Amino acid sequence: MASALLTNSSVNNTDRKQPLLLGVDGGGTSCRARIADLDGTILGEGFAGSANPRTGLDSACNAIMQATCEAMDKAGLEENDFGRMYAGLGLAGVNQQKERDLVLDWGFPFAGIFLETDAYAACMGAFNGKDGAILILGTGSCGASLIEGDMKTLGGWGFPISDHGSGASLGLAAVRYALLAHEGMKEETPLSQAIMATFDNRPENAVAWQDSALPRDYGSYGPMVVEHLSKGDKLAEQLIRECAGDAAMMIRVLHQRGASQCALVGGLSEYVMPWLPEDVAAIATLPQGDAMHGALLMAMKLL
């Protein structure tokens, strides 16, 4: 998939001031922004809520601007500095051309935009732009390999039909089990009881909740699973093992595509990694840099 580029040629702002780089990592739960100069010196960082355009274009783009403005404030920058800012946007939910076009047409004030998926940004950051693969295990999930300049993604088609091994899928499995256990079809555990307590032990409340629940709402049960995992809860262990199995399935394919290493990133990674099968554990590694670093490398391509 070709990267989406947008450059505002009408902005002439490099005569007196040097260009700035903006790296944005926008996921289903949060959005992070980092501003750096051309030497790579970090000037400021910002944080905001979900930046997945598939679950709301305006809210996602506003989150990007909110995180960027916070980073600008910390860097001592002003509104007129937007015009010399080249942005690398690594966003969840832009696998499809429709969402990519909507984001590019939204009206960002930047001098240029390099738009790709959050997986692309994470892969760039994980190996400092060199060959390798990543597996994002956050609210959603997505694999990506970057081999000799050829970027290929794996999964990441959205919850609930995809996003295997993700926080949202973990939460869905946890809630499904808790409902079964509540009605005596599965063995209750402290975790299943804690989940049902969030619905006041009334399945009809869970039904009402799911009618408007977003992936991040399902993903909000991830910390509860992790908490009970540390206490030896059987259900928590079962759920994490299933996540690790899904992660292993994806890592094996990324390895077959030519990646000698696969960096695990995202909030679930540190909890899933110890449960990976032996053959996959030999391939899995930690990233050299984060997705914001990768997004800055993307922004640099505009120059």
Q: Are residues 265 and 294 in the same domain?
A: no
- Cα 285-289-291 angle, rounded to 5 deg: 105
What pLDDT is recorded for position 11?
40
The 10 Å Cβ neighbour count of residue 287 is 20
| 270 occurs within a structural domain | yes
Q: Are residues 18 and 94 in the same domain?
A: yes
User: Considering the domain boundaries, does residue 24 fall inside one?
Assistant: yes
| Residue 243 near residue 201 (C-beta atoms within 8 A) | no
Number of H helices, E strands in the chain: 12, 11
CA proximity to 166, closest of 194, 144, 142: 142
CA of 173: how far to CAs of 63, 180, 243, 246, in Å? 29, 11, 10, 13
- The whole-number pLDDT of residue 117 equals 87
Indicate whether 296 and 270 sit together in one domain. Answer: no
**For residue 175, is it within any domain?**
yes
Whether 151 is in a domain gets the answer no
The answer to whether residues 195 and 100 belong to one domain is no
In this structure, are 32 and 70 located in the same domain? Answer: yes
pTM (two decimals): 0.74
- 106 and 58 within one domain: yes
Residue 1 confidence (pLDDT): 47
Q: Say yes or no: 185 and 297 in one domain.
A: no
What contacts 197, CB < 8 A, 6 or more positions away? none
Does any domain span residue 152?
no
Domain count, the chain: 2
Domain membership flag for residue 95 = yes
The one-digit pLDDT tens for each residue of the chain (303 residues) are 456 766 554 444 344 579 999 999 998 889 999 999 999 999 999 999 999 998 899 999 999 999 999 999 999 999 999 999 999 999 988 988 999 999 999 999 999 999 998 888 988 999 998 999 999 899 999 899 989 878 898 998 889 999 999 999 999 999 999 999 999 999 999 999 999 999 999 999 999 999 999 999 999 999 999 999 999 999 999 999 999 999 999 999 999 999 999 999 888 999 999 999 999 999 999 999 999 999 999 999 999
Q: Is the dihedral of CA 239, 270, 281, 130 positive or negative?
A: positive
- Whether 223 and 254 share a structural domain: yes
Same structural domain, 175 and 69: no
Kindly state whether residues 268 and 297 are assigned to the same domain.
no
The CATH number of residue 51's host domain is 3.30.420.40
In a domain, 251, yes or no: yes
Neighbours of 126 (CB within 10 A): 30
Domain that holds residue 202: 167-285
CB 75 within 8 A of CB 102: no
Q: Do residues 122 and 8 share a domain? A: yes
Q: Are residues 115 and 171 in the same domain?
A: no
- The confidence score (pLDDT) of residue 93 equals 86
Quick one: pLDDT at residue 12? 43
Residue 212: strand pairing partners: none
Q: Is residue 138 part of a domain?
A: no
